[in-house]
Amino acid sequence: MSCNHTADSAGQPVSPSGCSRRNFLVSVAGGLSIGFFLPDGGRMLEAATAPATEAQLNAWVRIGTDGKITLLFGGCEMGQGSMSGLSQILAEELMVDWNQLTIRPADADAKISYTTGGSSAVSRRYLPLRTAAATARELLVAAAMLTTGDTARGNYSAKSGVITRKDPVTGALQSWNYGSLALQAATPQAQALLPAVIPLTPPDQFRLIGKPLARPDIPPKTNGSALYGIDVFLPGMVFAVIKHCPTIGGTLALTPATPSGAIAVVPCFTPADRGAIAKNSFNAVAVVADNTWKAKKIAQGLKVQWALPASTASVDSASLVTLAKQLLETGQPIVAEPASAAPDPATLKTVLGSSAKSLEATFTVPHLAHATMEVLNCSVRPTHTAGVLTGLEIWAPTQSAMSVVATANVVAPSLTPAQITVHTTFLGGGLGRKIEQDYISQAVQIAVAVGRPVKLTWMREEDFGHDQYRPMAVIRVRAGLNATGGITAWWYRNVSPSILQQRGRAGLDSQAIEGSVRLPYTRAMSLTEWVPLPSGIPVGFWRSVGASINAFAVESMIDMLAIAAGRDPFVFRASLVSDPRYLDLLAAADAASSWRKTLPSNRAWGMAVAESFGTLVCEVIEISAPTAGAVVIHRVAAVVDCGTVINPDSVEAQIQGAIIHGLTAALWGEMKFVNGVASQGNFNRYRMMRLNETPTITVKVMTSANPPTGIGEPGVPPSAPALANAYSRLKKTRVTSLPLFPGTSMSGL
């Protein structure tokens, strides 16, 4: 059964009524809606492929004969707004109104699914999606041409889901709504009429791109109806929790018997090598029961025999910092610059020694947890024919639906990929953690073992304790100044565990050096080196990845140089920059933070600028420290240049959120390992910023005609160095280690 759309007099779809909580179509104000594949009594409410009454004009656009316009979304929505942003781009060129749409997350499909990461959802799809939607629009025009026999494109226009033809002689108007043209538009005859070059809308005629449109995913998030992975609820479902070996690298010695009250205990293997954890090793057991709480209680009391690794030195924070400091001196570095551009260390030493001023600092940052609000989870329904597994249907809060298909196929190799269906739900935060496949593999393993629908939920303690953490790093920066404040030499050496080497890629890790090589500052010579730190701690992609680490060291050193040169941080930076984008950004940030010139003496300000994912962000922060061991962040002025803006309201939201994310980590974020075990198991020991601690944040977005660049992550990197620079000025002592306040707890509500 499907909720029926009705058409109003203009032929436009209107909101469905009478959909129950478990139905699929989330209706929002004005007709714009999001349709999810949701289970209902074991049946799917919408067909996986376009029904005969709907024409699929390309991978993203479907037009129903009833006028329903469906845009398919191939990524994931985890708060960053790209479900809305990509739809704005499609709707712009399709010439439909924002309230005429149904947006539907696509099932995993190589034609449309992509991995959501690297702040790339919009920037990589801006032109492809405009072209696809414009092509669909031209197919609808072609369908009208086939109806009239008039193929002169100039006689037709498209607006609000209607094609209109104006007779060149009589001026008479004829119009068709898209629905009535849909089937004809999908024919080869319509294809044959497509122009050789598909015309795109000139930016000065944009109706939707650049407008602060209301996001369609927000209304379901204010009434409890939004479907996150953790909310999937299937008929006959059982509930599982996971219990990993607490020591990273430990494995299951013996599968425990199923305790009373439990449905099953299932040993689980890990799908990939990560540090001390070996691919295919059984490092966890799942406990299955008839509700999550019961499963958790049973798992808590379950005695499991683990085989522990002989040494845990590589999974111990203190040991790793000691080793990293040794490698800073003795390690074999990999040079990031091309060999032709890299000075040799002996020359650098000589130049540094003969510079008017020479500075050196060693910076340390810790491992960080992702701590997404929605813990890792995944639901799986196995189907059987004559007792044999013949299909898997998976609901996952995942950043990579295609990876989920591959992961499930490894667990169930008897299936073809076509027998594995993956529905991407909303994500209660992703932050890079939900690219990984460990929780997906476990859920499939459990479902195959118990032979019935199952939801796996990681309890918060497992989520913190078995993350793939933002790497720690120890970074030494040496820099020289000449008498006029120019940089004579810059020597940057980063020692850190490698995300990519843990994923089997040898050599220079592009993630590790992100944000440290192509700096905007003129330096007479520069050398950027990376030394991989052998580490057993699983590391992964954390919002802004390497830039979150390197911006702290780079921008702290630039601030130190400004102080050494006796220059204002804005003036000093501007003197070293020639790129007009940076100069404009700095000038705008200078203007946006004029308050900094009249601060009382017990307050200080700091700034930092960083480029990541093609986007430039400058942040200026005002702080005070009324008591020892604490800081009050009063305000942040941010300026962002992200090229063409799709939705300015979303850009503001992402920068606001990224600043809070970055500041939280800089103040308190640290995951400590002792003898192979993660020390922080819940939010009480992993402090997050609360509303009363949140500064006022202003965001200025630069006007730009450049293509759009990333927005989900770039607000993070400047926040830690801007805070550290402010704190260093306030305390007159350089901050070289994050977090500012380690070991802080968070109180209960």
Partner 1 sequence: MYTLNVNGVTYQANVTDAETPLLWVLRDVLGLTGTKYGCGIEVCGACTVLIDGQVEHSCVFDVSSAVGKKIVTIEGLSATNSHPVQKAWIQCQVPQCGYCQSGMIMATEGARRAGHHGNEILPELKNVCVCGTYERIRRAVKTL
| Residue ranges that bind partner 1, judged by CB under 8 A | 21-22, 29, 78-81, 214-215, 217-226, 228, 230-231, 233, 239, 291-294, 297, 371-375, 426-431, 457, 459-460, 649, 653-654, 656-661, 664, 682-684, 688-692, 694, 696-697, 746-749
Query: For residues 18 and 149, which CB has a smaller minimum distance to partner 1 in the complex?
Result: 18
Per DSSP, 274 falls in state B
- Helical H runs in 505-602? 510-513, 546-565, 569-576, 580-592
CB distance 567 to 478 below 8 Å: no
**Cβ 226 to partner 1, closest distance in Å?**
6
- Helical H runs in 159-316? 178-185, 188-192, 292-301
Query: For residues 114 and 233, which CB has a smaller minimum distance to partner 1 in the complex?
Result: 233
Query: For residues 79 and 569, which CB has a smaller minimum distance to partner 1 in the complex?
Result: 79
CB distance 420 to 390 below 8 Å: no
Query: For residues 339 and 749, which CB has a smaller minimum distance to partner 1 in the complex?
Result: 749
Per DSSP, 462 falls in state H
**Cβ 100 to partner 1, closest distance in Å?**
19
**Cβ 432 to partner 1, closest distance in Å?**
13
**Cβ 364 to partner 1, closest distance in Å?**
24
Query: For residues 233 and 595, which CB has a smaller minimum distance to partner 1 in the complex?
Result: 233
Query: For residues 17 and 205, which CB has a smaller minimum distance to partner 1 in the complex?
Result: 17
Helix, strand or coil, per DSSP, at residue 663 = helix
**Cβ 702 to partner 1, closest distance in Å?**
20
Backbone phi and psi for residue 135, each to the nearest 5 degrees, phi listed first? -65, -45
Query: For residues 358 and 656, which CB has a smaller minimum distance to partner 1 in the complex?
Result: 656
- Helical H runs in 10-117? 82-94
For residue 550 the two structure tokens come to 């390197």
**Cβ 37 to partner 1, closest distance in Å?**
16
CB distance 129 to 198 below 8 Å: no
Compute CA distances 574 → 85, 357, 535, 586, whole Å. Answer: 33, 20, 39, 7
**Cβ 719 to partner 1, closest distance in Å?**
11
Question: Which residue, among 454, 279, 464, 479, has the nearest Cα to 361 in the 3D structure?
Answer: 479
Question: Which residue, among 329, 369, 444, has the nearest Cα to 665 in the 3D structure?
Answer: 369
- State CA 626 to chain mean position distance: 35
Burial of 106 per CB tally in 10 Å (0-12, 13-18, 19+): buried
Query: For residues 323 and 454, which CB has a smaller minimum distance to partner 1 in the complex?
Result: 454
Phi-psi region of 668 (alpha: psi -120 to 50; beta: other; left: phi over 0): alpha
Cα radius of gyration (the chain): 28
Query: For residues 373 and 630, which CB has a smaller minimum distance to partner 1 in the complex?
Result: 373
Task: Return d(Cα 20, Cα 130) in angstroms, integer.
Answer: 35
Task: Return d(Cα 402, Cα 112) in angstroms, integer.
Answer: 10
**Cβ 670 to partner 1, closest distance in Å?**
16
For residue 58 the two structure tokens come to 């390309």
For residue 669 the two structure tokens come to 């974020």
Bond from prior residue into 235 cis (ω within 30 degrees of 0): no
CB distance 544 to 516 below 8 Å: no
Backbone phi and psi for residue 569, each to the nearest 5 degrees, phi listed first? -60, -35
How many CB atoms within 10 Å of residue 343? 18
**Cβ 180 to partner 1, closest distance in Å?**
31
Query: For residues 223 and 627, which CB has a smaller minimum distance to partner 1 in the complex?
Result: 223
**Cβ 637 to partner 1, closest distance in Å?**
13
Sign of CA dihedral 346, 352, 353, 358: negative
Backbone phi and psi for residue 508, each to the nearest 5 degrees, phi listed first? -60, 130
For residue 83 the two structure tokens come to 């479900």
Residue length of the chain: 749
**Cβ 500 to partner 1, closest distance in Å?**
26
Query: For residues 22 and 518, which CB has a smaller minimum distance to partner 1 in the complex?
Result: 22
Compute CA distances 196 → 89, 191, 192, 193, 692, whole Å. Answer: 22, 11, 10, 9, 58
**Cβ 223 to partner 1, closest distance in Å?**
5
**Cβ 711 to partner 1, closest distance in Å?**
12
CB distance 293 to 300 below 8 Å: no
Task: Return d(Cα 586, Cα 610) in angstroms, integer.
Answer: 11
How many CB atoms within 10 Å of residue 748? 6
Query: For residues 572 and 613, which CB has a smaller minimum distance to partner 1 in the complex?
Result: 613
**Cβ 189 to partner 1, closest distance in Å?**
44
**Cβ 244 to partner 1, closest distance in Å?**
17
**Cβ 414 to partner 1, closest distance in Å?**
31
**Cβ 374 to partner 1, closest distance in Å?**
5
DSSP characters over 491-510:
EEEEEE--TTGGGT--S--H
Query: For residues 427 and 610, which CB has a smaller minimum distance to partner 1 in the complex?
Result: 427
**Cβ 647 to partner 1, closest distance in Å?**
10
Query: For residues 75 and 250, which CB has a smaller minimum distance to partner 1 in the complex?
Result: 75
Query: For residues 149 and 748, which CB has a smaller minimum distance to partner 1 in the complex?
Result: 748
Helix, strand or coil, per DSSP, at residue 674 = strand
Query: For residues 38 and 512, which CB has a smaller minimum distance to partner 1 in the complex?
Result: 38
Query: For residues 138 and 467, which CB has a smaller minimum distance to partner 1 in the complex?
Result: 467
Contacts of 96 (CB under 8 A, 6+ apart): 69, 160, 161, 178
Burial of 132 per CB tally in 10 Å (0-12, 13-18, 19+): buried
Question: Which residue, among 557, 525, 548, has the nearest Cα to 736 in the 3D structure?
Answer: 557
Query: For residues 485 and 695, which CB has a smaller minimum distance to partner 1 in the complex?
Result: 695
